[in-house]
Amino acid sequence: MQSAADKRRVFRKLHQTGCFVIPNPWSVGTARYLEGLGFKAIASTSAGHAHAQGRPDGVQSLDTVLAHYRELAACVEIPLNADFENGFAHDPDDVGKNVTRCIETGVAGLSIEDFSGDEKNPIYDFDTAVARIKATRAAIDKAGGDVLLTGRCENFLHGKPNLDDTIKRLKAYSDAGADCLYAPLIKTREQIETVVKAVAPKPVNFLNSAPFGFTVADIAAMGVRRISVGGTLSRVAMDAFIKSSRDIAENGKFDTFAGVVSNADLNKFFGKYPS
């Protein structure tokens, strides 16, 4: 098994050139299958894990989330990036303390967002948001500095599609110590290319959570370094489960079982991993 330090070195190298997809598993099984497909890194999904536990996104406890990161980081040989939401705290000092605990789980990277958790006033004020990134950077540096920090601006995700403010924040997060920048739900070529140019030479993560019409090659050509899918893979799985179970409950049919992967095939795949 690669050490956490080895995984962190690999993760940083992935951000230096080219473009890679970092899919989002929500369990040991999904993490291992993605590794088996050849993906070079994975990222957690707060929504995917919460829904799998029968909870809405954003309500899981810090201890629950940290246990999930520890499990994912230990089950594969590839790096794990943690969707650390808003750091599970408002105050920058408290964010820093929680980031220290997150690092101890073995993650190779983590993201901190500027979503306050209050949809009436969803985005932290500029100075507070920057202070939170600085506190995160300080905690990472104190732990050795090898964990990759992604600074997230949540404007577009929470009803504030202001590209100028988004870029202002991303540039400030970069100056405050973020290694990678991320503005979930920008989705047009113009928006993507504008963000990439604005924060260069820092790498950009793009969230491809819907069929926006872009291929990996298209997104790479726009200058994006990392492509994530958020909770979408987990929703694909949940959608199939809902449709199949509804067909049984409402129509008494089992037609959706046709063509699914076999138990034997899954046993063969997962049998490669130690028990």
Closest CA to 52 of 29, 75, 33: 29
Residue 50 belongs to domain with CATH number:
3.20.20.60
In a domain, 265, yes or no: no
Mean pLDDT, rounded, of the chain: 97
Q: Are 88 and 77 in contact (CB under 8 A)?
A: no
Q: With a cut of 90, say whether residue 169 has pLDDT above it.
A: yes
Of all residues in the chain, what percent carry a pLDDT higher than 90? 98
Domain extent, residue 144, equals 4-237
Give whole-number Cα distances, 219 to 22, 117, 189, 215, in Å: 13, 30, 9, 6
How confident is the model at residue 141, as a pLDDT? Answer: 98
The β-bridge relationship of strands 148-152 and 109-113 is parallel
DSSP state of 121: S
How confident is the model at residue 1, as a pLDDT? Answer: 78
The β-bridge relationship of strands 109-113 and 80-83 is parallel
How confident is the model at residue 158, as a pLDDT? Answer: 96
In a domain, 229, yes or no: yes
Quote the CA–CA distance of 98 and 103 in Å, as a whole number: 9
| Interhelix angle 92-103/126-142, nearest 10 degrees | 40
DSSP state of 226: E
In a domain, 150, yes or no: yes
Quote the CA–CA distance of 123 and 160 in Å, as a whole number: 9
Quote the CA–CA distance of 180 and 159 in Å, as a whole number: 23
Q: Are 61 and 265 in contact (CB under 8 A)?
A: no
| pTM greater than 0.85 (yes/no) | yes
In a domain, 249, yes or no: no
Read off the pLDDT of residues 178-204 as tens digits, 9 standing for 90 and up: 999 999 999 999 999 999 999 999 999
- Dihedral of CA atoms 190, 191, 196, 198 in degrees, nearest 10, equals 100
Q: With a cut of 90, say whether residue 19 has pLDDT above it.
A: yes
| Residues contacting 16, CB < 8 A, separation 6+ | none
Read off the pLDDT of residues 227-272 as tens digits, 9 standing for 90 and up: 999 999 999 999 999 999 999 999 999 999 999 999 999 999 999 9
Supply 107's token pair.
């993650």
In a domain, 250, yes or no: no
In a domain, 263, yes or no: no
CB count in 10 Å sphere of residue 269: 14
Quote the CA–CA distance of 1 and 173 in Å, as a whole number: 33
Read off the pLDDT of residues 29-71 as tens digits, 9 standing for 90 and up: 999 999 999 999 999 999 999 999 999 999 999 999 999 999 9
In a domain, 93, yes or no: yes
Q: Where is 22: in which H helix or E strand? A: strand 20-22
In a domain, 272, yes or no: no
Q: With a cut of 80, say whether residue 78 has pLDDT above it.
A: yes
How confident is the model at residue 275, as a pLDDT? Answer: 75
Number of domains in the chain: 1
